[in-house]
Chains A and B, each alone.
Chain A
Amino acid sequence: MRILEVADLQKYFPVYGGVFLRPKGWIHAVDGVSLAVNKGETLGLVGESGCGKTTLGRCVSGLYDATAGNVLYKGEDISAMGRTALKKFRLRLQMIFQDPFESLNSRQMVGQILAEKYHIHKKAHPGMDEEIADTLETVGLEKEDMTKYPHEFSGGQRQRIGIARAVSLNPELIVCDEPVSALDVSVQSKILNLLLKLQEKMDLTYIFISHDLSVVKHISDRIAVMYLGKIVETADAETLYNNSRHPYTEALISAIPNPDPECTKKRIILSGELPSAENPPSGCRFHTRCMYAEDICSSTEPPLSLRHGPSGHFTACHLF
């Protein structure tokens, strides 16, 4: 069952300049993205900084209003929702943020942070504290932690508090925006295990945003690779890693440092830097750095089209 559908979504941010700070251009952060998320699956979104993955995540959760296009939650357009419907939607869709040091209110105790959600959604009841304590235990913290402040915890523990806040009151879909990037490897593996355990237990659907391909591969069922505001390739996780078609995906995979000194893999070093999203290249946006680029690549934009098989492997490339 599809629980979320994104149709041709665009999000532009104005760039101000000049003496009167008038808009002088637009950053094309997300530029025509379509995707669907099925119930119970994990959709991984990968790409380098500035590719629009976080903006996409925020548009999906209703934190940003899209410039054009729609986000449909169970068939209902979230931009057309009234206040009550939107509030209900926000209870079903939650977010986990990257920075565990900035996403928690430092003046509130953990119990208060978690109780706020109950008050906002008018779900406060006398047995609430026990429910909060249970949630804390599910994420690996203790009941006593309710009366502590965020600064008393380590980075990994704070991320657990963020997860507890997201999973309380039974959400359906969680947008995880780089949840493990700020953590050390040994802590990272614990948080990934926790997310997998919660998904199984609570039947959650994840949109998992990260720049770390090995992490995304580990946790996702399907992966979408983004470059400069567009999806360049999407496939199920195994296919994407073993049989990637788009040259950018190929370069991205080859750039991951492999913790095995004997591994002799083909290394593709991309030349140049990410072009500006204010003035994206014509045609295929990757053609300025692509080693296979031909004439057609700089003139016509390749559509995201189905490659082969029923597994749903889509690539936006003229050549592959």
Chain B
Amino acid sequence: MKRAPVLKVEDLAVSFSTDAGTVRAVDRVGFELESGSTLGVVGESGCGKSVAALSIMRLLPVPTAVIESGRILFKGDDLLSCTPEEMARVRGGKIAMIFQEPMTALNPVHKIGSQINEVYALHLPSMTRDRMRKKAAGMLDMVGIADPYKVLGLYPHHLSGGMRQRVMIAMALAAEPDILIADEPTTALDVTVQAQILERIRELQQEYHMSVILITHDLGVIAENCDSAMVMYAGRVAEEARVDMLFKNPSHPYTKGLLASIPSLAGKRKSELTTIRGTVPSLKNLPHGCRFSNRCPHTMEQCVNKAPMQRFVAENHTAACYLVPGSERQNADT
């Protein structure tokens, strides 16, 4: 039985105006986030995964970025038609985000305590200062920071990268949001710290019944932390599936190539790794039809003529490829 989606993105297209003309960084992207589950978004640099996340938060630079079409339904309300005041209440209160760079995401001239209190001041203005301080310390304790009252009085430069990322998570969760968007939360951290942080996010998700969107370029992180995953390539969704299906039966040639090119611990040493030929195309100069057609080992005539729609591989598993037999997904045309 499928749970009701807490967030539903339909047919999202975002373009940026640059000196060389308009480029579309996200094109007809649609997905659903089930309540309480974790959706992984994976892809290489420039595939549009961060832009998609920023458009949910309405944090894209205006007027450079334009949301051309689509709807972002959060519990039934379209976030794209919200007023700035309404959006300010959603942001941080209902949907929170953590960013990749723990070094730059915190304000260097304010103490950790006052940065966390800002969340309360905005979203729970009735709270007393004393109560705020207690709650903030409680949040820090929960993300695994020893001696939270001391840390409240420190500045970000006193903390290591892993500690700063914990503070970011504490801030994001302060107002108990329904959705947490984590944009490469552990990319800048070491593997052992990454394991600590991801474990902590999993535990907190259980505790608060949050839904999480985890954006990463690491397929290993997806496999270990997500319920379902979406593979993006050059601004479009290449494949979307439950995690076990995605890894057992990757159906889009790009997903297959990506999985094959990771050196595995069990694999043969010094053997030649599988590669995807060519390079990621520039968004200014995309191939006609399927955007993967110039690198795909199975390109057919129809791939170059017209981009394939999402097709069902199985239930809860779609791939945008003509090689997949079966019907096209109903709601993904246009």
- Hey, which bits of chain A sit against chain B, CB under 8 A? 48-49, 154, 156, 184-190, 192-193, 196, 211, 213-215, 217-221, 237-238, 241, 251-263, 267, 269-270, 273-274
Query: In whole angstroms, what is the CA distance A273 to B269 when docked?
Result: 32
Task: From known contacts A259-B259, A273-B162, infer whether A190 and B269 are also in contact, taking CB-CB under 8 Å.
Answer: no
Query: In whole angstroms, what is the CA distance A42 to B128 when docked?
Result: 61
Complex partner residue of A238 from B195, B243, B259, B269, CB under 8 angstroms: B269
Query: In whole angstroms, what is the CA distance A263 to B192 when docked?
Result: 18
Query: In whole angstroms, what is the CA distance A189 to B274 when docked?
Result: 7
Complex partner residue of A218 from B191, B257, B270, B274, CB under 8 angstroms: B270
- Hey, which bits of chain B sit against chain A, CB under 8 A? 44-45, 160, 162-163, 190-196, 199, 217-224, 243-244, 247-248, 257-259, 261-265, 267, 269-270, 272-276, 279-280
Report the nearest A residue to B222, measured CB to CB.
A259
Complex partner residue of A269 from B196, B220, B264, B272, CB under 8 angstroms: B196
CB distance from A222 to the nearest CB of B (A): 11
Q: Could you jot down 12 A-B contacts, CB within 8 Å?
A: A185-B261, A186-B275, A193-B273, A193-B275, A213-B191, A214-B262, A258-B223, A259-B223, A260-B223, A260-B247, A262-B247, A269-B195
Query: In whole angstroms, what is the CA distance A221 to B163 when docked?
Result: 35
Q: Are B272 and A196 in contact (CB under 8 A)?
A: yes
Q: List, in ascending order, chain A residues with CB within 8 A of B269's CB.
A: 217-221, 237-238
Task: From known contacts A185-B258, A185-B261, infer whether A261 and B247 are also in contact, taking CB-CB under 8 Å.
Answer: yes
Q: List, in ascending order, chain B residues with CB within 8 A of A261's CB.
A: 223-224, 243-244, 247
Query: In whole angstroms, what is the CA distance A120 to B262 when docked?
Result: 39
Complex partner residue of B279 from A156, A196, A219, CB under 8 angstroms: A156
Report the nearest A residue to B268, measured CB to CB.
A218
CB distance from A53 to the nearest CB of B (A): 12
Query: In whole angstroms, what is the CA distance A49 to B103 when docked?
Result: 15
Task: From known contacts A184-B45, A214-B262, A214-B264, infer whether A257 and B223 are also in contact, taking CB-CB under 8 Å.
Answer: yes
CB distance from A123 to the nearest CB of B (A): 31
Query: In whole angstroms, what is the CA distance A217 to B263 when docked?
Result: 8
Query: In whole angstroms, what is the CA distance A220 to B270 when docked?
Result: 8
Q: List, in ascending order, chain A residues with CB within 8 A of B160's CB.
A: 273-274
Q: List, in ascending order, chain A residues with CB within 8 A of B218's CB.
A: 257
Q: List, in ascending order, chain B residues with CB within 8 A of A241's CB.
A: 265
Q: Give the number of A-B contacts (CB < 8 Å).
A: 122
Q: Are B263 and A259 in contact (CB under 8 A)?
A: no
Q: Are B279 and A257 in contact (CB under 8 A)?
A: no
CB distance from B290 to the nearest CB of A (A): 17
Complex partner residue of B275 from A190, A196, A274, CB under 8 angstroms: A190
CB distance from B241 to the nearest CB of A (A): 11
Q: Are B262 and A185 in contact (CB under 8 A)?
A: yes
Query: In whole angstroms, what is the CA distance A185 to B261 when docked?
Result: 7
Report the nearest A residue to B186, measured CB to CB.
A257
Q: Are A219 and B191 in contact (CB under 8 A)?
A: no
Query: In whole angstroms, what is the CA distance A102 to B273 when docked?
Result: 27
CB distance from A14 to the nearest CB of B (A): 20
Query: In whole angstroms, what is the CA distance A256 to B247 when docked?
Result: 17
Task: From known contacts A184-B45, A187-B279, A273-B162, infer whether A215 and B190 are also in contact, taking CB-CB under 8 Å.
Answer: no
Q: List, in ascending order, chain A residues with CB within 8 A of B162's CB.
A: 273
Query: In whole angstroms, what is the CA distance A255 to B220 when docked?
Result: 10
Q: Which 9 A-B residue pairs are closest in the complex by CB-CB distance? A: A257-B220, A218-B263, A189-B261, A48-B190, A189-B273, A184-B44, A255-B195, A259-B219, A255-B191
Q: List, in ascending order, chain A residues with CB within 8 A of B217's CB.
A: 184-185
Q: List, in ascending order, chain B residues with CB within 8 A of A185's CB.
A: 44, 217, 219, 258, 261-262
CB distance from B218 to the nearest CB of A (A): 6
Task: From known contacts A218-B269, A255-B195, infer whether A186 and B276 are also in contact, taking CB-CB under 8 Å.
Answer: yes
Q: Are A273 and B264 in contact (CB under 8 A)?
A: no
Query: In whole angstroms, what is the CA distance A184 to B187 when docked?
Result: 12
Q: List, in ascending order, chain A residues with CB within 8 A of B223's CB.
A: 257-261, 263
Q: Are A267 and B195 in contact (CB under 8 A)?
A: yes
Query: In whole angstroms, what is the CA distance A251 to B223 when docked?
Result: 19
Report the nearest B residue to A237, measured CB to CB.
B269
Q: List, in ascending order, chain A residues with CB within 8 A of B199's CB.
A: 267, 269
Q: List, in ascending order, chain A residues with CB within 8 A of B263's CB.
A: 189, 192, 214-215, 217-219
CB distance from A255 to the nearest CB of B (A): 4
Task: From known contacts A186-B44, A214-B264, A217-B265, infer whether A273 and B273 are also in contact, taking CB-CB under 8 Å.
Answer: no
Q: List, in ascending order, chain A residues with CB within 8 A of B192's CB.
A: 48, 251-252, 255, 269-270
